[in-house]
Amino acid sequence: MGRDTKPAGSGVIVLTILIAAWVSLLPWPEPVRFFRPEWLTLVLVYWVIALPYRVGVFWGFFTGLFQDVLVGAVLGQHALALAVVAWLAQATYKRLRVFPPMQQSLVIFLLVGVSIMASYLVQDAAGRAHHSPLLMQLGAIASALLWRPVYALLRTVRQRFLVR
């Protein structure tokens, strides 16, 4: 394996996930709290699409486990959701890369929606679901709207720090 093809930049990937976790903890005003984007899901999907042979289901699982501990959720709730999302993104990454921006945003809406519904099902099974699953999907809409700026930012980071 040549020097230029050797994987590099794992620290950058971890740092972007940590920043996404920090941003997801920032407080939002009560009237718009359901419009909170799923930052960790967006960052994870970007890295799965960009580096599908390095970032996949295990990254999704451990990122979700980290999110569970971070927010005090049912252990495994986000781990399951992000592992499923990572698997779906990894299975379709070739198509996602060539989709036009609007179509990519629609797919992101669906992926984030799957993540939210998986989390809701775990919450419901544990007796901790307090809101309608349709109301929780507002976060998927916000995530889809923010996909292109997040994509552009992470792509710039990837190119700047030579993550491969």
Give me the pLDDT at residue 3, please: 56
> In this model, does residue 1 exceed pLDDT 50?
no
Range 34-62 average pLDDT = 96
Range 10-16 average pLDDT = 96
Q: What is the extent of the structural domain holding 138?
A: 3-160
Q: Model pTM?
A: 0.93
Overall number of domains in the chain: 1
Closest CA to 148 of 42, 23, 21: 42
Other beta carbons less than 10 A from residue 24's beta carbon? 18
Confidence band for 162, pLDDT divided at 50, 70 and 90: very high
| Residues 54-100: tens digit of each pLDDT | 999 999 999 999 999 999 988 999 999 999 999 999 999 999 999 99
Confidence band for 159, pLDDT divided at 50, 70 and 90: very high
Give the Cα separation of 132 and 29 in Å (integer): 19
Read off the tokens for 154: 């992470």
| Residues 99-131: tens digit of each pLDDT | 999 999 999 999 999 999 999 999 889 888 888
Give the Cα separation of 9 and 76 in Å (integer): 27
